[in-house]
Amino acid sequence: MKFQAASDQSLLVYVGEEIGAAAHERVLRLLLALQREPAAWIRNVQPAYCSLLVSFDAAVVDHAEVQARITEYEKRAEKLPAVKARLVEIPVCYGGEFGPDVEALAAKSGLSPAKVIALHCTRTYHAYFLGFAPGFAYLGDVAQEIAMPRLETPRTEVPAGSVGIAGRQTAVYPFATPGGWRLIGRTPLEIFKKDREPMGWIAIGDQVRFRPISHEEFAWRSRG
């Protein structure tokens, strides 16, 4: 474990140095340990690929003290049983007006649009963390053939439910927001809903699959 002060009230805790299952397992365990025994001096924990940003109340503790206490949490985290992943399915209507970037992905990879979609929906993805907007889960890893960087100029509005690719990540936009990911389809699911428990459809650590659906199924699910 490595520590790095990030601001006067936060400390970055690195539990690994590369994106992958091993580092993320440690992130999840430490997050779980912190959530099991919440401390009043912890204001927020932001997990990511191989780090956690721990924000604290500087009126109560300082960086050195937080570091010592996180080290204690880490010892308890190691003893926790293996984290059991939940399997989540997301129906997606691919291509057409919902997936304006499928053609570009096909052109870049030399594959047919159908093959691009097949590569996306035959994998099971790991939910590394949530960021950008409430309920926005960073899912990986996308097949190398269809990995593509973000758009140079982000769209000013991406419709809610849009499924996109950025590098080897894929994600579903929970809200209509600006966004630069390459759009390949749309889900009729409400990915984040405030009057639901849990609010987010995808949680950190979930295993996520995409299931292709027709326009008809999209239409009736959207009504439902």
Partner 1 sequence: MSSLVVETPGLLTTVQDLGRVGYGAIGVSPSGAADPVALQIGNRLVGNAPGAAALEMTLAGGTFAFPEGGVISLAGANFGGQLDGRELAPWRAHAVMPGKRLTLGATRDFARCYLCVAGGIQVEAFLGSASTHLLSGLGGWQGRALRKGDVLPVGEVKERIRQKKMAAGVLDALRPRKTLRVTRGPQSGWFGEEIRKRLLEEEFRVSEEANRMGLRLEGPLLAAREKKEMISEGAPLGAIQVTPSGQTILLFVEQQTTGGYPKIANVISADLHSVGQLRPRDTVRFEEVSFEQARALWIEQQRLLESEERLFA
Query: What is the contact surface with partner 1 in residues (CB under 8 A)?
Result: 4-10, 12, 18-19, 31, 35, 43-53, 55, 58-59, 62-63, 129-138, 174-175, 177, 192, 194, 198-200, 203-204
Rounded Cα distance between 194 and 205, Å, is 21
| Comparison of 5 and 118: residue with beta carbon closer to partner 1 | 5
Please answer whether residues 88 and 130 qualify as being in contact, where contact means their C-beta atoms are separated by less than 8 angstroms: no
| Comparison of 50 and 142: residue with beta carbon closer to partner 1 | 50
User: Measured from the CB of residue 185, what is the shortest distance to partner 1 in angstroms?
Assistant: 21
User: Measured from the CB of residue 203, what is the shortest distance to partner 1 in angstroms?
Assistant: 7
User: Measured from the CB of residue 178, what is the shortest distance to partner 1 in angstroms?
Assistant: 9
Of 125, 147, 137, 134, whose CA–CA distance to 210 is shortest?
Answer: 125
| Comparison of 63 and 186: residue with beta carbon closer to partner 1 | 63
C-alpha distance from residue 157 to each of 65, 92, 154 (Å): 44, 19, 9
| Comparison of 61 and 116: residue with beta carbon closer to partner 1 | 61
Buried b / exposed e along 146-177 (16+ C-beta atoms within 10 A): bbbeebeeebeebebbbbbbbeebbbbbbbeb
Rounded Cα distance between 61 and 57, Å, is 6
Of 167, 136, 169, whose CA–CA distance to 151 is shortest?
Answer: 167
Rounded Cα distance between 73 and 88, Å, is 29
User: Measured from the CB of residue 57, what is the shortest distance to partner 1 in angstroms?
Assistant: 10
| Comparison of 40 and 87: residue with beta carbon closer to partner 1 | 40
| Comparison of 9 and 187: residue with beta carbon closer to partner 1 | 9
User: Measured from the CB of residue 86, what is the shortest distance to partner 1 in angstroms?
Assistant: 14
C-alpha 193 chain-centroid distance: 17
User: Measured from the CB of residue 91, what is the shortest distance to partner 1 in angstroms?
Assistant: 21
